[in-house]
Structure 1
Amino acid sequence: MTSVSLVAPGDAPLTLPVAAAPAPARVPTARRYLMCEPRHFAVEYRINPWMDPEQPVDVELAVRQWRELKGVYEALGHRVDVVEPAPGLPDMVFAANSGTVVGGRVLGSRFRAPQRAPEAEHFRRWFEANGYPGVVMPERINEAEGDFTWTGRYLLAGTGFRTDPAAHAEAQEALGVPVVSLRLVDPRYYHLDTALFVLAEDLVAYYPQAFSPGSREVLAGLFPDAVLADERDAACLGLNAVSDGRNVVLPLEARGLAAEVERRGFTAVPVDISELRKSGGGPKCCTLEIRD
């Protein structure tokens, strides 16, 4: 609630309450997602600060949490396609890192870590077999939707830890969309999708401290009304979230972020993804969006 002061000549000011503008109506759109069950999930190596091979992993729990996430998407009216997991690729569950699809064009991935490199071919074959014969495979390191986020106008492109800066130009050529480069500076937020997600066109949520000063200026200029997450919500990978324009699927620990998106007119849909977080992943990491 805000207030306005009215002053008549010779009178003391009269302050009247003015109701704050209501949050805009948010409209969901049906999405198509690609996912991969964590049947072979493990933490066998360390390629980000979240991973600890000494920490026990409960594969059954990881599968259960993944199935619940998939069920949430389906209950919201979205289509979920599934890639068959391959033995020996414990991080294949993080499907978002394996392709970027905008307007029916598919740009594949090239992983920095050799342990994950074979995943790219598995996903390329899935796309080829499912009506996308023109998959472009990158020459530069490109970890796909891990570092590429489509806003509806721009492809926000992260770099600093995984994806090469030169991959941003490759993405622009392959997808035919304008690319905005952003530099990540905190190793805990090694992919763009751990520090930023799109709520709706022209509205994002992000953790400012994950970005370089120049990138923060770019984000502030492009998205002046953005939701700014705090350290607590960023630290539970709360920004590794998925929005359909109204419903925001995010880790259940991100309570402050959930409250803020609800204040903006969205519906927060908390999910438990704690077991997969042991490998540095959350809802978005598990979810590659196919945009035809």
Structure 2
Amino acid sequence: MTAPVDRPLNPTQFDVPAFLLNAPFSYSTEVPNNVWMEEIAEEERRPDMRRAMTQFLALYRYLAAESLVYLLPTPRLNGLQDLVFTANLGIVLDHLPDRNTVVLANFSSPPRVGETEVGRRFFESMGYRVVVPETKFEGEAELKHLHDNVYVGGYGLRSQPETYDWFERSYDMTVVKVAMTDPRLYHLDCLVFPITREQTLVCTEALDPQDLRLLEKHTEVIDVSTRAAYPGLCNSVRLHNIVLNASHIHDLRAGTEEYQAELAKNRELEDIASRLGFEVALINLSEFAKGGAMLSCMVMHLNRHSYRFTLL
């Protein structure tokens, strides 16, 4: 029996924003697999799991109030310490007419290799066509949809440029390839955030000038300072006319260097958002920062419904 014509077959086809999250049942910081984690002593980076779950639920509730939110099941397997960071799991190719294809990650980071099979089982159960590239690739955290069939892809630290050649051959898409060289900005979502179909926030200092010129052919680039990119300005998620970003500023002591850096990041984001007609919502995800991650790392887009509309 076939579904009624007006019934979406999957959340990508649903006419509201849809996201995939994972509750932090397997989350840990046991293996330091990025520079942020390496700089924190093992005892200091161990997460408070009760607080981590509370913070996760705050993010979940905010998104679920205005969107469809799926939860990726956590299997009883050891070593899935980063499964909660679903943005790295893969990317749903929203530009394809059938909107039914997901490309999963081929991870570089050893603790994450087991996540691909978890994602395969989930998406196949939902009826998606699931593909895994032969070369390294770490999901939508590395490949951002700009508009139409145009994407921007980061390579050099976690993903390979050959992966984007494969995407272009296989899925009738253009990928603007940009080299990643700063280990503190080790995924593309650390320095690139498409905020509308026409405009993209970019930490321009972190890009090769030639790569930046190529990107500017496809989108209006709005500059983000490096000092704001490091604490996660570009690690944002758009929901309708709201930009969600992680901030633990209320945990910090006023006047400290960390407080000033966080305050400057928040003000820079608020200034950009207000110019473009957006509001900003800040969510404390400090327990997940111990894993070297920010808000966008925890959210995988199942569609990009919010980008279909232009703010007046």
TM class by smaller structure: 0.7 to 0.9
Distance (Å, rounded) in 2 between the aligned partners of 1:60 and 1:213:
44
Q: Give the Cα–Cα distance (whole angstroms) in 1 for the partners of residues 211 and 114 of structure 2.
A: 32
Counterpart check, 1:238 vs 2:250: no
Distance in 2 (alpha carbons) for counterparts of 1:116 and 1:174: 25
Instruction: State the partner residue of 2:50.
Output: 60
**Alpha-carbon spacing, 1:207–1:94, altered in 2? closer, same or farther (3 Å):** same
In the superposition, relative to structure 1, how do residues 163 and 145 fare at CA in structure 2: closer, same or farther (>3 Å)?
A: same
Deviation at 1:197, TM superposition (A): 0.9
TM-score by length of 2: 0.79
Match of 1:23 in 2: none
- Measured against aligned partners, the alpha-carbon deviations of 1:245-266 in whole angstroms (never above 9, x if no partner) come to 5211112343121232122211
Letter in 1 for 2:235: N
Residues 1:31 and 1:118: Cα distance change in structure 2 (over 3 Å): same
**Post-superposition shift, 1:229?**
1.4
TM-score, normalised relative to structure 1: 0.84
Cα distance in 2, alignment partners of residues 112 and 199 from structure 1:
28
Q: Does 1:136 align with 2:160?
A: no
Deviation at 1:175, TM superposition (A): 3.4
Q: Matches of 2:214 and 2:32 in 1, distance apart?
A: 32
Aligned to 1:6: none
Residue identity opposite 1:91 in structure 2 = D
C-alpha separation in 2, matches of 1:47 and 1:180: 27
RMSD of Structure 2 on Structure 1 (CA) = 1.7
Residue-by-residue CA offset, 1:189-248 (whole Å, 9 max, x unaligned): 011011111111011111112222222222333333x32112332121121111135211
1:8 is matched with which residue? none
Opposite residue 59 of structure 2, the aligned amino acid is L
What is the percentage of aligned positions where both structures have the same residue?
A: 28
Question: What aligned pairs does 1:50-129 form with structure 2 within 5 A after superposition?
Answer: 50-52=36-38, 54=42, 55=44, 56-75=46-65, 77-86=66-75, 87-102=78-93, 103-129=99-125
More helix by share: 2
Q: Does 1:49 align with 2:35?
A: yes
Alignment match, 2:252:
none
Is the partner of 2:64 in helix, strand or coil? helix
Cα deviation digits, residues 21-57 of structure 1 (max 9, x gap):
xxxxxxxx83110111112211111221111461232
Distance 1:246 1:175, change over 3 A: farther
Matches within 5 A, 1:179-198: 179-198=175-194
Matched pairs, number = 261
